[in-house]
Chains A and B, each alone.
Chain A
Amino acid sequence: MIQRFMRNKVVEVEPRPDGNLEVSWRLTDDLLKAEVRTVVQLPDMEILEADATLERFLPQGGEVASELIKKIEGINIGGGLRKIVAGLLGGPDGCPILVTAILESANAVILHFTRPGLHLSEAMTDPKELKEGFQFMLQTNPRLVRSCIAFQDDSPLMEGLNL
């Protein structure tokens, strides 16, 4: 059956020569085109720069998106980000698209750091070694504990851990 609506979204993380990360978040669908670019300073993961462009039929807050996004500059990616972003960019005078863009950009930065560890675990063929690898990851990333079915208390990956 023919699609009556299509949305494409891409988020990319690119390390820059100065050691910072540039994140490009883009959305295009039948009604909206949006681009949000952020620069994240390491190691504290502070959002140094943020720019936004919205085109086509603008959603709530779309007219002021390029000014509104500046409120996020200086904020660190870390605990409590969801509430901070909702407070700065959401609400009745906010722009929900920018909230989504920033949270998804922050998530992409986290996954940029997750990817190398997963590459290493892929090379492990011994199930015991693999389990130990995941358990090391859980011990060093406590935010993952109970974050999904793989890391719930009754998961075999959690056996023997007291987290």
Chain B
Amino acid sequence: MISFNRSQIIGAEFPDSEIVRFNGIQEDHIYGMEINMEVRIKDGEILKVEGNMKRYTTPVCPKAIPVLQTAVGKSLKDEGWESKIMKEIGRKGCEHFAEIIIECGHCFEPALRSHDLSLALEKDPALDQEQFLKNWSA
């Protein structure tokens, strides 16, 4: 029998050519959390973030929700951005919110690559996808 299970689901929308909007959900046997955040494509800066705690373990945990705002202005392209998020959002707020923001950050470049590839495939369905991704740069 499975004694612990965690799922993370990250989705990315492109409301316009300058912004990517992430929705991240983390559900496990213990915690249930959600993050919505907007990131500027050209420099990876987090423009907006909001979080929702569905399941948590202590009465203090919801106080981590306002701490999320310290992520605004941080860039997903900066050196050591993951450690900064874990320190500022995780330690001073909630580690699980930080985990979701970091996973959204891990999806930043793949989401852009995937988006560009799908647009290129619309124009040329026979496109060599492997080659396209090899030549791709942000």
The count of A-to-B residue pairs whose CB atoms sit within 8 angstroms is 125
Contacts of A4 in B (CB 8 A): 12-14, 111, 114-115, 118
Contacts of B126 in A (CB 8 A): none
- Which residue of A is nearest B65, CB measured? A149
In the bound complex, do residue B3 and residue A15 qualify as a contact, i.e. CB atoms below 8 Å apart? yes
Prevailing SS type, chain B contact patch: mixed
- Selected from A10, A109, A155, the residue in CB contact (under 8 A) with B60 is A155
- Which residue of A is nearest B61, CB measured? A150
In the bound complex, do residue B95 and residue A12 qualify as a contact, i.e. CB atoms below 8 Å apart? no
Classify chain B's interface size: 35 or more
In the bound complex, do residue B30 and residue A148 qualify as a contact, i.e. CB atoms below 8 Å apart? no
- Per the bound structure, the CA–CA distance linking A11 and B30 in Å amounts to 13
Determine if A30 is an interface residue (Cβ-Cβ < 8 Å): yes
- Which residue of A is nearest B10, CB measured? A7
Determine if A29 is an interface residue (Cβ-Cβ < 8 Å): yes
| Interface residue tally for chain A (C-beta within 8 Å) | 41
Determine if A156 is an interface residue (Cβ-Cβ < 8 Å): yes
Considering the complex, which residues of chain A in the window 87-115 have a beta carbon less than 8 Å from any beta carbon of chain B?
A: 100, 104, 108-109, 111-112, 114-115
Determine if A147 is an interface residue (Cβ-Cβ < 8 Å): yes
- What are 19 A-B residue pairs whose CB atoms fall within 8 Å in the complex? A1-B21, A4-B13, A4-B14, A5-B10, A5-B11, A5-B110, A5-B114, A6-B9, A7-B10, A8-B7, A10-B7, A13-B2, A13-B5, A31-B114, A57-B129, A57-B133, A115-B3, A121-B57, A149-B92
Interface of B with A (CB < 8 Å)?
Answer: 1-15, 21, 28-30, 57-58, 60-61, 63-64, 67, 90-95, 103, 106-107, 110-111, 113-115, 117-118, 129-130, 133
Interface of A with B (CB < 8 Å)?
Answer: 1-15, 21, 29-32, 57, 100, 104, 108-109, 111-112, 114-115, 118, 121, 134, 146-150, 152, 155-157
